[in-house]
Amino acid sequence: MMNRMQGIGETPRIPLLHLKVRRDHLLEDTLHKLSIMEDCDLRKELLVEFHGETSVDPRSALTEFFLNVGEKMVHPDYGLFACTDPMLPVWFPSHALAEKKKYYYYGVLCGLAIFNQWVMYMPFPLALFKKLLGKKTTLDDLKELQRTLGKSLQIILDAKDDAVEALELYFTVRNWS
């Protein structure tokens, strides 16, 4: 009875998910470890350790991990996302370049970051979050993603009817699936 009473007021410990990765193989090691984990492991506090290094501050290793893995996964060369300008948000390529499981693992990493109350690099436009919430997107959302196209469409919308007719514009809609 006394042992139980001594535990009163203590914060219960959250189990740890220990992820040991090599810096020079960060993505490969991370994706491999995620592929062999059970779903219940993903609801644990994350502790990242870089192979061959001792970290004085485990939180700095976590910061570095999420920053680097996030940047690598959203880089256009990785194939998950496309970007026409480094200053603009990324979007999905018109033709899938990456395997679907890579999108799944990117989502898992985003979930781990959120669960661990950590920031992860996600340069997505507001339109993506609107889509996830079932909200309507607008021309302003397009302007954020493709400035030139958005501005051009805005000019057409703002023009008088006879000016638009004089442009003799023809539009084609392509199926992106």
Asked whether the predicted pLDDT for residue 14 surpasses 80, the reply is no
Per-residue pLDDT, 177: 56
Q: Does residue 5 carry a pLDDT above 70? A: no
Higher pLDDT, 177 or 27: 27
Spell out the domain ranges in the chain. Answer: 13-124, 129-167
Say how far apart CA 9 and CA 30 lie, in whole Å.
36
pLDDT tier, 13 (very low <50, low <70, confident <90, very high otherwise): low
Cα dihedral 38/41/30/48 (nearest 10): -160
Better-predicted residue by pLDDT, 165 or 8: 165
The CATH number given to 13-124 is: 3.90.1750.10
Q: Which two tokens stand for residue 25?
A: 């193989």
CB 159 within 8 A of CB 103: no
- Give this prediction's pTM: 0.74
Q: What angle do CA 119, 137, 154 make, to 5 degrees?
A: 115
Cα(94)–Cα(81) distance, integer angstroms = 9
What would the two tokens of residue 31 be?
């994706």
* CB 21 within 8 Å of CB 65: yes
Nearest to 122 by CA among 166, 72, 158, 85: 72
Q: What is the per-residue pLDDT for 31? A: 95
Q: What's the distance, Cα to Cα, between the start and end of the chain in Å? A: 65
Residue 129, pLDDT > 60, answer yes
Predicted local confidence at residue 140, as pLDDT:
96
Q: Decide the pairing of beta strands 45-50 and 16-21.
A: parallel
8 A C-beta contact, residue 27 and residue 57: no
Give residue 25's pLDDT.
Answer: 96
Note the pLDDT of residue 2: 52
- Reference 71, options 32, 122, 124, 119; nearest CA is 122
Is the predicted pLDDT of residue 154 greater than 90, yes or no?
Answer: yes
4: pLDDT strictly greater than 60: no
Q: Give the model's pLDDT for residue 84.
A: 75
Angle at 64 between CA 59 and CA 67, to 5 degrees: 125
Stretch 31-49: mean pLDDT: 93
- Kindly state the average pLDDT of the residues 80-103: 84
State residue 76's pLDDT score: 86
Higher pLDDT, 159 or 6: 159
Helix (H) or strand (E) holding 2: helix 2-6
What are the pLDDT digits (tens) for 66-87? 999 999 999 988 989 988 777 8
pLDDT at 32 over 90: yes
- Strand (E) or helix (H) holding 149: helix 147-158
